[in-house]
Structure 1
Amino acid sequence: MNSLSSLYPAITALDLRSCLISQQGTLNFEYYRNQHTVTELAKINSCTKSILSSLICITMDKGLLPQSDTPITAFFPQLKMDNDARKQEITLEHLLTMSSGFNWTEFGGQKSFPLMTKSPHWTNFVLEQTLSDPPGAKMEYNSGNSQLLSAILVQTAGMSTARFAERYLFEPLGIETYNWEIDPQGIHTGGFGLWLRPTDMLKFGQLYLQQGTWNNKQLISRELLAQSVQPFISVDAPYRGSYGWHWWTDSVSDPSDMSSAPATQYFYARGYGGQYVYIIPSLQTVVVLSDDKPKKKQYSYDVFRQLIAPTLIHQQ
């Protein structure tokens, strides 16, 4: 019995859909609500954004996409005609770090995300939004940025986002089944809409733990992968930590440790409703959580930070 077995009672009580913990490439903890969860596809929601980040990195590695400081007018020349000249300053990195400056409230307030999904042309909807901040000044969570990136990938790769993913990410990782939603123009949703199995989410996290290497093949360059998961811009409450290229970054300390031990750094993919892929490099660990309960029935605390991370740190 491994030392993670103490987690089973608490994880079971939470009635999560799944919880997987891999350490040094070995699956040491595996919980599923039922046997169907093992093979069923489920929405990973905004974890899709981190998958898209990996595809953008691969596209850059292949020379299909220019460097991250490239203005997006290279792909959307109509921005040169916009009344707000600041839109010409928006770069690929601004999209990746959610700092494009668009006046956007994902769900509250303006409900920008629902409005985008109800519009006849999502890409145009995003590009036509006014700016509330200069590009690069502030992080504002915006799935429209992700949709622009998916559209850019299609332009530069000459194939759909999903086909590119199959060829350069899913097939090498052995991800055989998935679903991926599309917008009215047939562009795969960049910010959400991907359906995967928990074990395939774990493979994706393991790829990042292994710095882009899988079966002795470099799928993503170490340099771009490292750049993409660095804390690039700080985030405002209720979020915590920082944001990279469509990845969240943070650190956690053991509350029972009174020493001056440094906090444990990690980065993670995060999706609405309890979908997470955590990568903790110093512990050589990947954690996958998934859930599907209505918001009112979900757990009210941070399962990773308050339950799983302390257990992992105590192992050291």
Structure 2
Amino acid sequence: MNTKLLRPFIESAENLRITNIIIYQNGERIAEHHWDEEIRRNQYSASKSFTATAVGIAISEGMFSLEDKVLKYFEQDAPKNPSENLKNLTVRDLLTMSIGHDKGYLMGGERPFLSELNWVKYVLNQKIVYVPGETFVYNNAGPYLAGVLIQKLAKCDLVEYLMPRLFEPLGIIRPTWETDPQGLTFGAGGLMLTVSDMAKFGQLYLQEGTWNGKQLISKQWVYEATKKQMDTHWKKDVGEGYGYLFWRGRHDSFRADGKYGQYSIVLKDKNAVIAVNAECREQQKILDCIWDKVYDLL
């Protein structure tokens, strides 16, 4: 264990309310620091990257394709006279934050107070302002629908679907995951994992989907999901582009990224993974600290 590696980071991150950090390099756990005990925490929007993984696996199993029209599977919940934009909405658009809404739906402050208990119906009845696939608007509706699609076709919830395909192979004990009022897994957030679980997830992607000699996710899916699929036109790390429910970052990195600083950051050039859990409202400061105090030491 490299006890010196994290010393500059620890000193600089004193006021960032980080709870845990773990670093893997060359397949080895080389450094870690815990300001608080390691427990399962809400990974917030980092959950989306697990939903993306489920989508990739489902596609490899022939369940559906990225080009499938969403209404093919949810016609019963759609408006009687769907717009052309809704008719043209594809599974791919759900994964790239490009449904075409002009604002986010099913966000954290909205979900507890929705009177409509059928969230699929709620989402499909929101006006699609932009042509799907063209405009990035950060949104929980897309990953939610993508997760529901898998549950609809697999006839089980996302945890059940991912247990033999992802969680068990990684040694992750059955996690809990937020559900909607109808009991469907909320694929956009609410997955409860430890920082060690997040580190292993990043390591799986660094290893191009292989774990203990078994291909859990196709190499092609890893490549497509983590490359830039959409321009975000934002600043700093969130301005580096968006894949299939993964963020791009500096130094050709990509990451699962959750509110308040839940990260699994993959650094291909360093053959490394940095996993973080935090309770910080200024997430960019955590990333800045990683780039300034950790990256060059790896």
TM-score of the pair, normalised by structure 1: 0.86
C-alpha contact (below 8 Å) 2:79/2:124 kept by paired residues: no
Indicate whether 1:191 and 2:173 are aligned: no
Map of 2:270 onto structure 1: 283
Map of 2:33 onto structure 1: 31
Q: Once the two structures are aligned, what percentage of the paired residues are identical?
A: 26
C-alpha deviation, 1:12, in angstroms: 4.6
Map of 2:279 onto structure 1: 292
- Which is worse superposed, 49-58 or 154-163? 154-163
Amino acid at match of 1:4: L
C-alpha contact (below 8 Å) 2:261/2:276 kept by paired residues: yes
Map of 2:241 onto structure 1: 242
Note closer, same or farther for the CA distance 1:2–1:272 as it changes in structure 2 (3 Å cut): same
Count of residues in correspondence between the two structures: 291
Note closer, same or farther for the CA distance 1:83–1:71 as it changes in structure 2 (3 Å cut): closer
CA–CA distance in structure 2, aligned partners of residues 102 and 25 of structure 1 = 41
| Structure 2 stretches lacking a partner, 5+ long | none
5 Å-filtered alignment, 1:1-316, equals: 1=2, 4-6=5-7, 7-12=9-14, 14-34=16-36, 37-38=37-38, 40-64=39-63, 66-78=64-76, 79=78, 81-106=80-105, 114-117=109-112, 118=114, 119-237=116-234, 239-251=238-250, 264-292=251-279, 295=281, 301-304=284-287, 306-315=288-297
- Greater relative CO (CA pairs within 8 A, separation 6+): 2
Note closer, same or farther for the CA distance 1:131–1:146 as it changes in structure 2 (3 Å cut): same
CA–CA distance in structure 2, aligned partners of residues 138 and 90 of structure 1 = 13
CA–CA distance in structure 1, aligned partners of residues 171 and 65 of structure 2 = 29
Amino acid at match of 2:181: P
CA–CA distance in structure 2, aligned partners of residues 41 and 9 of structure 1 = 25
Amino acid at match of 2:49: S
Instruction: Give the 3-state SS of the residue equivalent to 2:163 in structure 1.
Output: helix
Amino acid at match of 1:60: I
C-alpha deviation, 1:162, in angstroms: 1.1
Amino acid at match of 1:189: F
Instruction: Give the 3-state SS of the residue equivalent to 1:314 in structure 2.
Output: helix
RMSD over aligned Cα, in angstroms?
Answer: 2.0
C-alpha contact (below 8 Å) 1:116/1:122 kept by paired residues: no
CA–CA distance in structure 2, aligned partners of residues 156 and 53 of structure 1 = 16
Cα shift readout 1:93-139 (whole Å, capped 9, x = no counterpart):
00000101123235xxxx86544552311111101000110111101
C-alpha deviation, 1:2, in angstroms: 5.4
Instruction: Give the 3-state SS of the residue equivalent to 1:207 in structure 2.
Output: helix
| Structure 1 stretches lacking a partner, 5+ long | 252-263
Instruction: Give the 3-state SS of the residue equivalent to 1:233 in structure 2.
Output: coil
CA–CA distance in structure 2, aligned partners of residues 192 and 273 of structure 1 = 13
C-alpha deviation, 1:13, in angstroms: 5.2
Instruction: Give the 3-state SS of the residue equivalent to 1:226 in structure 2.
Output: helix
C-alpha deviation, 1:147, in angstroms: 1.2
Amino acid at match of 1:307: C
CA–CA distance in structure 2, aligned partners of residues 216 and 130 of structure 1 = 46
Note closer, same or farther for the CA distance 1:300–1:47 as it changes in structure 2 (3 Å cut): closer
TM-score of the pair, normalised by structure 2: 0.91
C-alpha contact (below 8 Å) 1:59/1:153 kept by paired residues: yes
